Amino acid sequence: MFRNARIKLTLWYLLIIMLVSFLFSIGVYKILTREVERFARIQRFRIERGFGENHVILPPNLDSDFVSETKARIAATLSTIDFVILIISGALGYFLAGKTLLPIKSMLDEQNRFITDASHELRTPLTALKSSMEVFLRAKNSSISEANLLVKESIEEVDHLTSLSNALLQLSQYQKPDSIVKMDTISIAEILKEVVIKLSPLAKEKKLIINKDIKDFQVRGNKLSLSDLFVILLDNAIKYTKKGSVAVSTETKDGFVNILVKDTGIGIAEKDTSHIFDRFYRADESRSEANVFGYGLGLSIAKRIVDIHRGKISVESKVGEGSTFMVSLPSDFS
Ligand code: ADP
Protein backbone atom coordinates (compact mmCIF):
# COMPACT_ATOMS: atom_id res chain seq x y z
CA MET A 1 0.00 0.00 0.00
CA PHE A 2 2.78 2.41 0.97
CA ARG A 3 4.71 1.48 -2.23
CA ASN A 4 1.65 2.09 -4.40
CA ALA A 5 0.97 5.45 -2.78
CA ARG A 6 4.66 6.37 -3.20
CA ILE A 7 4.59 5.49 -6.92
CA LYS A 8 1.32 7.41 -7.43
CA LEU A 9 2.71 10.47 -5.68
CA THR A 10 5.91 10.25 -7.77
CA LEU A 11 3.81 10.13 -10.95
CA TRP A 12 1.90 13.21 -9.85
CA TYR A 13 5.17 15.04 -9.11
CA LEU A 14 6.48 13.96 -12.54
CA LEU A 15 3.32 15.03 -14.34
CA ILE A 16 3.50 18.53 -12.84
CA ILE A 17 7.25 18.91 -13.42
CA MET A 18 7.09 17.59 -17.00
CA LEU A 19 4.11 19.79 -17.83
CA VAL A 20 6.00 22.87 -16.65
CA SER A 21 9.19 21.74 -18.38
CA PHE A 22 7.33 20.95 -21.63
CA LEU A 23 5.58 24.35 -21.70
CA PHE A 24 8.88 26.04 -20.90
CA SER A 25 10.59 24.13 -23.77
CA ILE A 26 7.89 25.18 -26.24
CA GLY A 27 8.32 28.81 -25.16
CA VAL A 28 12.11 28.63 -25.47
CA TYR A 29 11.80 26.89 -28.88
CA LYS A 30 9.43 29.57 -30.18
CA ILE A 31 11.64 32.45 -29.00
CA LEU A 32 14.87 30.91 -30.32
CA THR A 33 13.48 29.96 -33.75
CA ARG A 34 12.01 33.43 -34.16
CA GLU A 35 15.43 34.90 -33.35
CA VAL A 36 17.15 32.55 -35.80
CA GLU A 37 14.72 33.52 -38.61
CA ARG A 38 15.26 37.19 -37.83
CA PHE A 39 19.02 36.71 -37.80
CA ALA A 40 18.88 34.91 -41.19
CA ARG A 41 16.78 37.71 -42.70
CA ILE A 42 19.22 40.39 -41.47
CA GLN A 43 22.21 38.45 -42.78
CA ARG A 44 20.62 38.03 -46.24
CA PHE A 45 19.77 41.73 -46.34
CA ARG A 46 23.34 42.72 -45.34
CA ILE A 47 25.00 40.38 -47.84
CA GLU A 48 22.75 41.44 -50.75
CA ARG A 49 23.22 45.14 -49.97
CA GLY A 50 27.00 44.72 -49.47
CA PHE A 51 27.38 43.07 -52.84
CA GLY A 52 24.64 45.22 -54.42
CA GLU A 53 26.90 46.76 -57.06
CA ASN A 54 28.08 43.33 -58.18
CA HIS A 55 24.47 42.13 -58.39
CA VAL A 56 25.02 39.16 -56.03
CA ILE A 57 21.73 37.34 -55.48
CA LEU A 58 21.86 34.58 -52.85
CA PRO A 59 20.07 31.29 -53.65
CA PRO A 60 16.50 31.48 -52.24
CA ASN A 61 16.71 28.23 -50.20
CA LEU A 62 19.98 29.19 -48.45
CA ASP A 63 18.22 30.74 -45.38
CA SER A 64 15.55 28.13 -45.12
CA ASP A 65 18.16 25.30 -45.05
CA PHE A 66 20.08 27.11 -42.33
CA VAL A 67 16.91 27.93 -40.38
CA SER A 68 15.45 24.43 -40.51
CA GLU A 69 18.76 22.84 -39.51
CA THR A 70 19.09 25.22 -36.55
CA LYS A 71 15.45 24.59 -35.57
CA ALA A 72 16.07 20.84 -35.61
CA ARG A 73 19.14 21.30 -33.41
CA ILE A 74 17.23 23.48 -30.93
CA ALA A 75 14.41 20.91 -30.80
CA ALA A 76 16.89 18.06 -30.25
CA THR A 77 18.72 19.97 -27.48
CA LEU A 78 15.45 20.87 -25.73
CA SER A 79 14.21 17.26 -25.97
CA THR A 80 17.46 16.00 -24.44
CA ILE A 81 17.13 18.54 -21.63
CA ASP A 82 13.50 17.45 -21.06
CA PHE A 83 14.57 13.80 -20.99
CA VAL A 84 17.31 14.52 -18.43
CA ILE A 85 14.77 16.51 -16.34
CA LEU A 86 12.39 13.52 -16.55
CA ILE A 87 15.02 11.10 -15.26
CA ILE A 88 16.31 13.40 -12.50
CA SER A 89 12.85 14.49 -11.34
CA GLY A 90 11.65 10.85 -11.44
CA ALA A 91 14.42 9.79 -9.05
CA LEU A 92 14.07 12.92 -6.91
CA GLY A 93 10.26 12.64 -6.92
CA TYR A 94 10.42 9.02 -5.75
CA PHE A 95 12.78 10.02 -2.94
CA LEU A 96 10.63 13.02 -1.91
CA ALA A 97 7.40 11.00 -2.12
CA GLY A 98 8.94 8.53 0.33
CA LYS A 99 9.90 11.40 2.67
CA THR A 100 6.43 12.98 2.40
CA LEU A 101 4.64 9.73 3.11
CA LEU A 102 6.92 8.56 5.93
CA PRO A 103 5.12 10.43 8.78
CA ILE A 104 1.76 9.21 7.46
CA LYS A 105 3.14 5.66 7.29
CA SER A 106 4.46 5.77 10.85
CA MET A 107 1.16 7.25 12.05
CA LEU A 108 -0.75 4.41 10.35
CA ASP A 109 1.65 1.79 11.73
CA GLU A 110 1.25 3.31 15.19
CA GLN A 111 -2.54 3.29 14.84
CA ASN A 112 -2.54 -0.34 13.73
CA ARG A 113 -0.32 -1.30 16.65
CA PHE A 114 -2.67 0.59 18.98
CA ILE A 115 -5.74 -1.25 17.62
CA THR A 116 -3.99 -4.63 17.88
CA ASP A 117 -2.80 -3.97 21.45
CA ALA A 118 -6.18 -2.58 22.51
CA SER A 119 -8.18 -5.46 21.05
CA HIS A 120 -5.80 -7.95 22.66
CA GLU A 121 -6.20 -6.29 26.07
CA LEU A 122 -9.99 -6.18 25.68
CA ARG A 123 -10.28 -9.77 24.48
CA THR A 124 -8.45 -11.34 27.42
CA PRO A 125 -10.88 -10.23 30.18
CA LEU A 126 -13.88 -10.80 27.88
CA THR A 127 -12.78 -14.39 27.23
CA ALA A 128 -12.30 -14.92 30.97
CA LEU A 129 -15.74 -13.47 31.65
CA LYS A 130 -17.37 -15.67 29.03
CA SER A 131 -15.69 -18.88 30.16
CA SER A 132 -16.61 -18.38 33.82
CA MET A 133 -20.25 -17.93 32.74
CA GLU A 134 -20.09 -21.03 30.55
CA VAL A 135 -18.62 -23.09 33.39
CA PHE A 136 -21.42 -21.87 35.65
CA LEU A 137 -24.07 -22.77 33.07
CA ARG A 138 -22.63 -26.24 32.49
CA ALA A 139 -22.47 -27.05 36.21
CA LYS A 140 -25.62 -28.64 37.51
CA ASN A 141 -27.09 -27.85 40.92
CA SER A 142 -25.38 -24.48 41.27
CA SER A 143 -26.45 -22.70 44.39
CA ILE A 144 -27.79 -19.16 44.71
CA SER A 145 -24.66 -18.07 46.58
CA GLU A 146 -22.49 -19.34 43.71
CA ALA A 147 -24.66 -17.40 41.27
CA ASN A 148 -24.29 -14.28 43.42
CA LEU A 149 -20.52 -14.71 43.49
CA LEU A 150 -20.40 -15.06 39.71
CA VAL A 151 -22.48 -11.92 39.22
CA LYS A 152 -20.29 -10.02 41.70
CA GLU A 153 -17.10 -11.10 39.93
CA SER A 154 -18.60 -10.30 36.53
CA ILE A 155 -19.53 -6.79 37.67
CA GLU A 156 -15.94 -6.29 38.89
CA GLU A 157 -14.64 -7.48 35.55
CA VAL A 158 -17.02 -5.14 33.69
CA ASP A 159 -15.81 -2.25 35.90
CA HIS A 160 -12.22 -3.10 34.93
CA LEU A 161 -13.20 -3.20 31.27
CA THR A 162 -14.89 0.18 31.61
CA SER A 163 -11.77 1.71 33.14
CA LEU A 164 -9.68 0.10 30.38
CA SER A 165 -11.87 1.55 27.64
CA ASN A 166 -11.79 4.97 29.38
CA ALA A 167 -7.99 4.84 29.52
CA LEU A 168 -7.87 3.79 25.84
CA LEU A 169 -10.13 6.68 24.91
CA GLN A 170 -7.99 9.10 26.91
CA LEU A 171 -4.82 7.79 25.27
CA SER A 172 -6.29 7.99 21.76
CA GLN A 173 -7.37 11.58 22.43
CA TYR A 174 -3.87 12.59 23.47
CA GLN A 175 -2.42 10.79 20.47
CA LYS A 176 -4.19 13.04 18.00
CA PRO A 177 -1.71 15.57 16.54
CA ASP A 178 -4.04 18.49 17.38
CA SER A 179 -5.07 17.06 20.76
CA ILE A 180 -4.65 20.19 22.85
CA VAL A 181 -5.79 23.45 21.40
CA LYS A 182 -6.06 25.70 24.35
CA MET A 183 -2.92 26.55 26.28
CA ASP A 184 -3.14 29.05 29.13
CA THR A 185 -0.90 30.43 31.81
CA ILE A 186 -1.41 27.95 34.62
CA SER A 187 -0.60 28.04 38.30
CA ILE A 188 1.06 24.71 39.01
CA ALA A 189 0.31 24.95 42.77
CA GLU A 190 -3.41 25.29 42.07
CA ILE A 191 -3.49 22.10 39.99
CA LEU A 192 -1.35 20.10 42.39
CA LYS A 193 -3.46 21.12 45.38
CA GLU A 194 -6.64 20.03 43.57
CA VAL A 195 -5.06 16.70 42.63
CA VAL A 196 -3.88 16.06 46.18
CA ILE A 197 -7.39 16.76 47.53
CA LYS A 198 -8.86 14.39 44.91
CA LEU A 199 -6.56 11.51 45.80
CA SER A 200 -6.39 12.04 49.57
CA PRO A 201 -9.18 9.50 50.28
CA LEU A 202 -7.16 6.78 48.49
CA ALA A 203 -4.06 7.63 50.52
CA LYS A 204 -6.12 7.67 53.73
CA GLU A 205 -7.50 4.21 52.93
CA LYS A 206 -3.92 2.91 52.78
CA LYS A 207 -2.87 4.99 55.80
CA LEU A 208 -0.34 6.88 53.71
CA ILE A 209 0.68 10.46 54.38
CA ILE A 210 0.90 12.92 51.50
CA ASN A 211 3.66 15.47 52.16
CA LYS A 212 3.50 18.73 50.23
CA ASP A 213 6.23 21.21 49.48
CA ILE A 214 4.48 23.07 46.70
CA LYS A 215 5.76 26.48 45.68
CA ASP A 216 3.77 28.22 43.01
CA PHE A 217 5.17 28.64 39.48
CA GLN A 218 3.53 29.58 36.23
CA VAL A 219 3.67 27.24 33.23
CA ARG A 220 2.02 27.36 29.83
CA GLY A 221 -0.33 24.47 29.51
CA ASN A 222 -3.74 22.92 29.45
CA LYS A 223 -5.25 22.71 32.91
CA LEU A 224 -7.31 19.56 32.38
CA SER A 225 -4.51 17.54 30.84
CA LEU A 226 -1.96 18.64 33.42
CA SER A 227 -4.44 17.62 36.07
CA ASP A 228 -4.78 14.17 34.34
CA LEU A 229 -0.98 13.91 34.33
CA PHE A 230 -0.55 14.51 38.07
CA VAL A 231 -3.52 12.30 38.93
CA ILE A 232 -1.76 9.44 37.09
CA LEU A 233 1.55 10.03 38.90
CA LEU A 234 0.06 10.50 42.35
CA ASP A 235 -2.35 7.59 41.89
CA ASN A 236 0.58 5.32 40.93
CA ALA A 237 2.62 6.56 43.89
CA ILE A 238 -0.25 5.62 46.22
CA LYS A 239 -1.02 2.34 44.41
CA TYR A 240 2.53 1.05 44.53
CA THR A 241 3.27 2.10 48.13
CA LYS A 242 2.32 -0.24 50.95
CA LYS A 243 3.53 1.90 53.82
CA GLY A 244 5.32 5.15 54.35
CA SER A 245 4.57 8.34 52.53
CA VAL A 246 4.12 10.08 49.26
CA ALA A 247 5.55 13.54 48.61
CA VAL A 248 4.69 16.17 46.05
CA SER A 249 7.10 19.07 45.58
CA THR A 250 8.01 21.75 43.06
CA GLU A 251 11.17 23.65 42.20
CA THR A 252 12.47 25.73 39.34
CA LYS A 253 15.74 25.15 37.48
CA ASP A 254 17.23 26.33 34.17
CA GLY A 255 13.97 27.79 32.82
CA PHE A 256 11.97 24.68 33.75
CA VAL A 257 9.46 24.06 36.50
CA ASN A 258 10.14 20.64 38.04
CA ILE A 259 7.31 18.75 39.72
CA LEU A 260 8.43 15.77 41.80
CA VAL A 261 6.20 12.92 42.95
CA LYS A 262 8.13 10.74 45.37
CA ASP A 263 7.04 7.57 47.13
CA THR A 264 8.43 4.97 49.50
CA GLY A 265 6.87 2.12 47.56
CA ILE A 266 7.96 -1.09 45.85
CA GLY A 267 10.28 0.71 43.42
CA ILE A 268 11.04 -0.17 39.82
CA ALA A 269 13.81 -2.52 38.67
CA GLU A 270 16.44 -0.98 36.39
CA LYS A 271 15.46 -3.27 33.51
CA ASP A 272 11.90 -1.85 33.63
CA THR A 273 12.58 1.88 33.90
CA SER A 274 13.10 2.34 30.17
CA HIS A 275 9.86 0.48 29.35
CA ILE A 276 7.32 1.77 31.87
CA PHE A 277 6.31 4.63 29.53
CA ASP A 278 5.44 2.10 26.78
CA ARG A 279 1.81 1.25 26.21
CA PHE A 280 0.52 -1.75 28.20
CA TYR A 281 3.88 -2.31 29.91
CA ARG A 282 3.71 -3.45 33.51
CA ALA A 283 6.68 -4.45 35.61
CA ASP A 284 6.55 -7.99 37.02
CA GLU A 285 6.65 -6.72 40.61
CA SER A 286 3.43 -4.75 40.15
CA ARG A 287 1.63 -7.88 38.94
CA SER A 288 3.04 -10.33 41.47
CA GLU A 289 4.41 -8.65 44.57
CA ALA A 290 2.19 -5.58 44.75
CA ASN A 291 -0.76 -7.33 43.10
CA VAL A 292 -2.07 -3.96 41.99
CA PHE A 293 -4.71 -3.66 39.30
CA GLY A 294 -3.71 -1.81 36.16
CA TYR A 295 -3.34 -2.01 32.42
CA GLY A 296 -0.03 -0.24 31.90
CA LEU A 297 -1.62 2.74 30.16
CA GLY A 298 -1.25 5.51 32.77
CA LEU A 299 2.39 6.38 32.17
CA SER A 300 2.06 6.31 28.37
CA ILE A 301 -0.80 8.83 28.71
CA ALA A 302 1.41 10.84 31.11
CA LYS A 303 4.31 10.80 28.63
CA ARG A 304 2.05 11.97 25.81
CA ILE A 305 0.72 14.88 27.92
CA VAL A 306 4.28 15.90 28.84
CA ASP A 307 5.33 15.73 25.16
CA ILE A 308 2.41 17.95 24.15
CA HIS A 309 3.63 20.49 26.71
CA ARG A 310 7.20 20.23 25.34
CA GLY A 311 8.35 18.97 28.72
CA LYS A 312 10.30 15.99 30.02
CA ILE A 313 9.43 13.14 32.33
CA SER A 314 11.95 10.93 34.10
CA VAL A 315 12.10 8.47 36.94
CA GLU A 316 14.63 7.49 39.56
CA SER A 317 13.91 4.38 41.52
CA LYS A 318 15.32 1.66 43.74
CA VAL A 319 13.52 -1.63 44.24
CA GLY A 320 12.16 -1.83 47.79
CA GLU A 321 12.98 1.80 48.56
CA GLY A 322 10.71 3.86 46.32
CA SER A 323 10.47 5.94 43.19
CA THR A 324 10.64 9.60 42.24
CA PHE A 325 8.94 10.76 39.07
CA MET A 326 10.02 14.17 37.84
CA VAL A 327 8.07 16.24 35.31
CA SER A 328 9.86 19.28 33.87
CA LEU A 329 7.73 21.87 32.14
CA PRO A 330 8.98 25.05 30.46
CA SER A 331 8.35 28.10 32.71
CA ASP A 332 5.95 30.74 31.47
CA PHE A 333 7.70 34.09 31.84
CA SER A 334 5.02 36.12 30.07
P1 ADP B 1 -0.50 0.69 35.62
O2 ADP B 1 -0.17 1.39 36.88
O3 ADP B 1 -1.93 0.74 35.28
O4 ADP B 1 0.07 -0.67 35.55
P5 ADP B 1 1.19 2.69 34.37
O6 ADP B 1 1.44 2.94 32.93
O7 ADP B 1 0.71 3.80 35.20
O8 ADP B 1 0.21 1.46 34.42
O9 ADP B 1 2.54 2.17 34.97
C10 ADP B 1 3.32 1.21 34.26
C11 ADP B 1 4.14 0.40 35.23
O12 ADP B 1 5.13 1.21 35.83
C13 ADP B 1 3.33 -0.15 36.39
O14 ADP B 1 2.71 -1.36 36.06
C15 ADP B 1 4.41 -0.34 37.44
O16 ADP B 1 5.09 -1.55 37.20
C17 ADP B 1 5.37 0.79 37.18
N18 ADP B 1 5.13 1.95 38.06
C19 ADP B 1 4.55 3.11 37.75
N20 ADP B 1 4.54 3.96 38.79
C21 ADP B 1 5.17 3.33 39.79
C22 ADP B 1 5.50 3.66 41.14
N23 ADP B 1 5.21 4.86 41.65
N24 ADP B 1 6.15 2.74 41.87
C25 ADP B 1 6.48 1.53 41.36
N26 ADP B 1 6.20 1.15 40.11
C27 ADP B 1 5.55 2.02 39.33
Q: Going from the first residue of the chain to its last (334 residues), give the mean pLDDT of each consecutive group of 10, the final group possibly shorter.
A: 89 94 95 90 79 62 78 93 94 93 88 87 89 89 88 91 90 74 89 96 95 94 94 96 95 94 95 93 74 88 94 95 96 70
**Same domain as 311, residue 194:** yes
pLDDT value, residue 183: 87
**Same domain as 323, residue 200:** yes
The CB of 264 under 6 Å from ligand 1? The reply is no
CATH classification at residue 136: 1.10.287.130
**Same domain as 196, residue 300:** yes
The CB of 160 under 6 Å from ligand 1? The reply is no
pLDDT value, residue 60: 64
The CB of 299 under 6 Å from ligand 1? The reply is yes
pLDDT value, residue 182: 82
**Same domain as 297, residue 216:** yes
The CB of 296 under 6 Å from ligand 1? The reply is yes
**Same domain as 61, residue 8:** yes
**Number of domains into which the chain is organized:** 3
Q: Is-above-0.85 flag for pTM?
A: no
Specify the residue with its C-alpha closest to ligand 1, atom 13: 282
DSSP 242: S
Q: Where are the alpha helices (DSSP H) in the chain?
A: 2-50, 61-138, 144-175, 188-205, 223-239, 270-273, 284-287, 298-308
The C-alpha atoms of residue 79 and residue 84 are separated, in whole angstroms, by 9
**Same domain as 307, residue 281:** yes
pLDDT value, residue 13: 92
Beta-carbon count within 10 A of 28 CB: 14
**Same domain as 117, residue 96:** no
**Same domain as 188, residue 324:** yes
**Same domain as 208, residue 137:** no
Nearest to 162 by CA among 129, 140, 138, 113: 129
Q: Which helix (H) or strand (E) holds 257?
A: strand 256-263
Specify the residue with its C-alpha closest to ligand 1, atom 25: 267
**Same domain as 140, residue 191:** no
Q: Provide the residue range defining the domain that includes 168.
A: 110-175
**Same domain as 318, residue 214:** yes
Q: Is 202 exposed, middle or buried (0-12, 13-18, 19+ CB in 10 A)?
A: middle
- Domain end (from 127, 147, 175): 175
The C-alpha atoms of residue 260 and residue 273 are separated, in whole angstroms, by 17
pLDDT value, residue 287: 64
The CB of 170 under 6 Å from ligand 1? The reply is no
- Domain end (from 157, 175, 193): 175
Q: Which of 168, 276, 288 to mutate to test the pocket of ligand 1 (most atoms within 8 A of CB)?
A: 276
The C-alpha atoms of residue 320 and residue 314 are separated, in whole angstroms, by 19
The CB of 203 under 6 Å from ligand 1? The reply is no
Q: Which of 233, 286, 313, 327 to mutate to test the pocket of ligand 1 (most atoms within 8 A of CB)?
A: 286
Atom of ligand 1 nearest to the CA of 283: 16
- Domain end (from 150, 175, 200): 175
Strands 209-213 and 245-253: parallel
Atom of ligand 1 nearest to the CA of 237: 23
Sheet holding 245-253, edge to edge: 209-213, 245-253, 256-263, 322-330, 312-318
**Same domain as 34, residue 139:** no
